[in-house]
Amino acid sequence: MNREVLRVEGLSKVYPQPNRKSILAVDNIGFLIERGEIVGLLGPNGAGKTTTIKCICGLITPSSGSIFIDGIDMIHTPKFGMSKISAVLEGNRNIYWRLTPRENLAFFAGLQGISYRDAKSYIDELIELFNLTQKATTQARYLSRGMQQKLAVACALAKQTEILLLDEPTLGLDVEASHELRGLIKEMVRDNNRTVLLSSHDMQVVKDICDRVIIINNGKIVTDERVDRLSKLFETSSYRFELDSRLTQKEESEIKSNFDLANIIKMPDHTVIDIQLRSHQRLYELIDILRKNGSKVDSITHREPDFEEIFLKIVKGK
């Protein structure tokens, strides 16, 4: 069985601007997604994430490039693509506010040609899974923001498509609601073998639930790598040294000449050195410089770089 479910080739989108220079929102990008993967599309605001998502689900016609779903050209046979994809788009009302959660779920299942009789047991399962039982007969407009967002994802699942496109699914949610929704997405993929492309500018969301991350900046893909592999690629160790006195000019010069990633913070009566080291052995080189010059170290603290630091390094071209 072919594991490839979504392939994007040479995708570009240009927005013409009257009397102004056109905006190149997506610039010749390409990637593959296999069945059962959760792939994060990560980037700063305006990077081209939402435009890419809208091109894939057929809401925007690309200026150039191809999109294949199960090997079928999505652009030339959009009906086939629509039968395979559900989407939750940021900034849109993805549910009908005057319908209850149960009615919304039945409606979206019906769009896929699934009768309520056939969908009922799955709708019941979704209502329970997304903790909507107590609000199943309440109009969606009276639900909390978190419940509305959970219902939007549940409605996308009610269509029972293989591919789910989620554009900023946790935007505007509080910490508890965001954490709950992330857990539901992971559970849904694991139990139903769904494939998810999730766009976000929230590094923690991508780190928590994605197998792989595609980082996009200024319309271009700057990296496409597994999340665990990215962490190893940027595996530097960050240390903070706190000294009980000011550094001498000699010490400062020696540290700066030997360590490119050293930041020396001078305080009135003490000194802080923040330093990043790729090799733990270099830690002892710094300690030797300080000991040789008689500086007393009050404390040394160690911290591994977080995913946000990795993201910023990639976007800045490091």
Helix axes 175-192, 116-129, angle to 10 degrees: 130
Which of 164, 162, 161, 185 is closest to 173 using CA atoms?
A: 185
Nearest-5° angle of CA 276, CA 315, CA 51?
155
- C-beta of residue 37 within 8 angstroms of C-beta of residue 196: yes
Amino acid 180: pLDDT: 87
Alpha-helical segments (H) within the chain: 49-56, 78-82, 101-111, 116-129, 145-158, 175-192, 203-209, 227-233, 249-258, 281-292, 307-315
Q: Give the pLDDT of residue 110.
A: 95
Give this prediction's pTM. 0.75
pLDDT at 86: 93
CB contact at 8 A, 125 and 69? no
146-184 as b/e: b if 16+ CB within 10 A: bbbbbbbbbbbbbbbbbbbbbbbbbeebeeebbebbbeb
How many residues in total does the chain contain?
318
Which pLDDT does position 309 carry in this prediction?
Answer: 65
CA 60/CA 291 separation, integer angstroms: 63
> Which pLDDT score, from 0 to 100, does residue 303 have?
67
The pLDDT value given to residue 306: 60
Q: Which residues contact 303 (CB under 8 A, 6 or more apart)?
A: 237, 238, 239, 240
Q: Where are the domains of the chain?
A: 4-232, 236-305
Give domain 4-232's CATH superfamily: P-loop containing nucleotide triphosphate hydrolases (3.40.50.300)
pLDDT for residue 313: 67
Query: What is the mean pLDDT of each successive set of 10 residues along the chain, which is 318 residues long?
Result: 87 92 94 94 88 92 94 88 88 88 96 94 94 95 92 92 91 83 85 88 83 91 86 68 86 86 84 79 84 85 66 67
The Cα-based distances of 153 to 146, 184, 250 in angstroms read 11, 9, 61
> What's the CA gap between 194 and 190, in Å, rounded?
8
Which two structure tokens, joined as six digits, stand for 214? 């595609």
| CATH class entry, domain 236-305 | alpha beta
- The two tokens of residue 55 are 């091109």
Q: Residue 305's pLDDT is what?
A: 59
